[in-house]
Amino acid sequence: MDCLDSSELPAFARESSASEVAVCLKEILDRIELPPWEEIPDTLAIEAAGGPDKLTRWRIPGTRITIARVEEGPQRHEYLFSTGTVGRAVEYYEDVKSLPYRADGPAVSNGFYRYFISAPGHPILATLVDSLPEGALESIFGLAAWKWLSLFLLTILAIGLMAFAYKLQRVFADRWRNESVLMFCLTVFFPIGAMLVPMAFKYVAQHYLIVRGEPLYVLSFCANMATFLVSAVVVFAINNRIAEVLIRSPRVHPQGLDAQLIRIVTQLSSLVISLLVFLTGGQYLGIPLPTLLASTGIVGLAVALAAQDALKTIFGTLMLVLDKPFRVGERIIFDEYDGVVKDIELRSTKISLLTGHEASIPNNELAHSKIENVGRRPHIRRIADIHIPLDTSREKIKKAVEIIRTALDGHEGMEADFPPRVFFTDFKPTAFNIRIIYWYNPPSYWDFLAYSEKINLEIFRAFEEQEIQFSLPFRVAHTSIEGQEKLMYKRIAEGRSARSGHGT
């Protein structure tokens, strides 16, 4: 195997493929007539030919097996079996396997390749295989029949274990998410266990069943691909639990925009790490880096075009997270919506409207609209006008202002910086106007209404005692007598014309 130029073999299958190539070359050399030693180029022959730069390749007579000088890599300037020979060694063996073995020399290994593809890697398995009928040892597509059956059963077991681990992760994660953050974090070991299943499957197949050749190449590729895919799931699971630990911090509201920012950042970091895993894994599987980058770009473009609305919503969520115009439990007014924020999700925000309904509004619409956050007001301000009839005396007007000021003096919910204001402000065509302004804190709407009712009744009672009247609203209706007379005369004229037409 050290004499093979395996630089073009995928990294994940380099060792197993090289071992099969070595066995196939041994089988070929055991069947052909080897050239005399003096015909094989040595150092003197290379110098006689003009040096290593002149003699770069030599083919074994009567075969397609080539030994070539390596020009790059850690084995540079060594003479090894060429990459072409390594890549087609199994094909060369298939062409000569019907030939008889050489009769001379003890170096011939009769049935070496058959043993290579059929023998198990454990003594107990070897004992069981020896007891199998001859048909179970026959090669089918480069692998013994009993190994195909074992691989099938092993694959079913591996898929079942991965599905079971995924199911356990979902069940226990949902159960412990809100109960115990420690137990929720420990559920990450379920996807990690699922990631180890393909690796264990590959190890058992390669070292116990001794799968060789093309079946091992396909098996290794699929197992490694499954490992890389599940590792992306593990990355998302780990970052998800990191996000939940950060959100449980006393400084972070679990339903606020800060929590959403943490979730978005961890999800984006999971995507970046998964992309790196994809690129690294693709190279390990033998896919060229330019092909991987081109595939990533094409997939990214397709996803971007197909998910424009989703991307707009995500960017809208980011804008809300950065601006923080509201959080869960606060009352907001947006367009025709007026209600309390119930939940802030990655795509939309749910609002419990004052009508009792629930509205789900995309975050990108909220991010580009005016939002009035009622829940963040430091107090509730009331502005009210009391109208007094025009025939009220000046003394009673003054008394009315004093009554209202007394009722509001040191009122419930008053802030020192915002004392109540009561003034006789205006002469209206229909009444005198007294304006009342006061601020209520804390901004509890129902408490504010209860206090406003209390003040209203107090003012009402005091006005009754002082015989101060409220000015009632009235409506002026304008009618046009002239228009009515014109309509009446028109109808009389039409009646006379009709009668004259009938000779009456």
The tens digit of pLDDT for each residue in 119-168 reads 666 676 767 776 677 666 676 776 777 778 888 888 899 999 989 988 88
Residue with the larger pLDDT of the pair 294 and 205 = 205
Residue 399, pLDDT above cutoff 90: yes
Q: Choose one of 61, 88, 110: the last residue of a domain.
A: 110
- Name beta bridge partners: 421: 437
Asked whether residue 432 carries a pLDDT value surpassing 60, the answer given is yes
Instruction: Find the range with the poorest average confidence among 47-51, 98-102, 401-405.
Output: 47-51
Q: What is the pTM of this model?
A: 0.45
More confident position, 496 or 27? 27
The CATH number for 482's domain is: 3.30.70.100
In the predicted structure, residue 263 carries a pLDDT above the cut 80: no
Regarding whether 160 and 99 lie in a shared domain, the answer is no
In percent, the amount of the chain with pLDDT more than 90 equals: 14
| 100 located within any domain | yes
Are both 496 and 382 inside the same structural domain?
yes
Highest mean pLDDT: which range of 62-76, 128-142, 310-324: 62-76
- Is residue 476 included in any domain, yes or no? yes
Q: Which domain holds residue 411?
A: 377-504
Asked if residue 151 and residue 99 are part of one domain, the reply reads no
Same structural domain for residues 164 and 103? Answer: no
CA distances from 397 to 383, 406, 409 (A): 19, 14, 18
How confident is residue 421, by pLDDT bands cut at 50, 70 and 90?
very high
Query: What's the pLDDT at 120?
Result: 66
Are 157 and 75 found together in one domain?
no
- Does 467 reside within a domain? yes
Lowest mean pLDDT among 142-146, 381-385, 414-418, 488-492: 488-492
**376 has pLDDT over 70:** yes
How much is the pLDDT for 385? 92
Does 17 share its domain with 100?
Answer: yes
Lowest mean pLDDT among 174-188, 196-210, 270-284, 406-420: 270-284
On the question of a cis peptide bond just before residue 100, with omega within 30 degrees of 0, the verdict is no
Instruction: Find where tokens 């895993």 sit.
Output: 277
Proportion of the chain above pLDDT 70, given as a percent: 77
Both 61 and 105 in one domain: the answer is yes
Contacts of 392 (CB under 8 A, 6+ apart): 432, 468, 469
- What is the average pLDDT score of the chain? 79
Mean pLDDT of 3-27: 83
Q: For residue 366, which of 333, 329, 340, 343 has the smallest C-alpha distance? A: 333
Residue 287 burial class via C-beta count within 10 angstroms: exposed 0-12, middle 13-18, buried 19 and up? middle
Residue 397 lies in a domain: yes
Across 68-103, b (16+ Cβ under 10 Å) vs e yields bbbeeeebeeebbbbbebbebbbebbeeeeeeeeee
* Helix, strand or coil, per DSSP, at residue 346: coil
Predicted pLDDT of residue 302: 56
Specify the higher pLDDT residue, 235 or 451.
Answer: 451
Domain boundary among 110, 129, 157: 110
The mean pLDDT value for 57-67 works out to 90
Per-residue confidence (pLDDT) for residue 423, from 0 to 100: 94
Report CA torsion sign: 368, 369, 375, 379.
positive
374 contact partners, CB below 8 Å, separation of at least 6? 330, 331, 332, 333
pLDDT value at residue 71: 86
Task: Answer yes or no: do 420 and 479 share one domain.
Answer: yes
Among 9-23, 45-59, 148-162, which stretch is predicted with the lowest mean pLDDT?
Answer: 9-23
d(CA 80, CA 68): 6
Which has the minimum average pLDDT: 167-171, 179-183, 191-195, 305-309?
A: 305-309
Q: Is the pLDDT of residue 299 over 90?
A: no
Q: Do residue 63 and residue 166 come from a single domain?
A: no
Task: Specify the pLDDT at position 502.
Answer: 46
pLDDT over 60 (residue 292): no
Judged against a pLDDT cut of 70, whether residue 303 lies above it is answered with no
Are both 385 and 502 inside the same structural domain? yes
Integer Cα distance of 303 and 263 in angstroms: 21
The answer to the question of residue 296 being in a domain is no
In a domain, 6, yes or no: no
Segment 338-353, tens digit of pLDDT: 888 887 776 778 888 8
Sign of the CA dihedral running 238, 244, 247, 250: negative
What band does 504 get if pLDDT is binned at 50, 70 and 90? Answer: very low
Count: domains in the chain: 3
Residues 158 and 73 in one domain: no
Residue ending a domain, among 213, 248, 283, is 248
Question: Does one domain contain both 86 and 154?
Answer: no
pLDDT-based confidence at 436, cuts 50/70/90? very high
Read off the pLDDT of residues 353-367 as tens digits, 9 standing for 90 and up: 888 888 888 877 777
Confidence of residue 503 (pLDDT cuts 50, 70, 90): very low
> Does residue 233 form part of some domain?
yes
Question: Within a domain: residue 292?
Answer: no
pLDDT exceeds 60 at position 96? yes
Residue 349: burial class (beta carbons within 10 Å; 0-12, 13-18, 19+): buried
**Sheet of 421-427, strand order:** 380-389, 431-440, 421-427
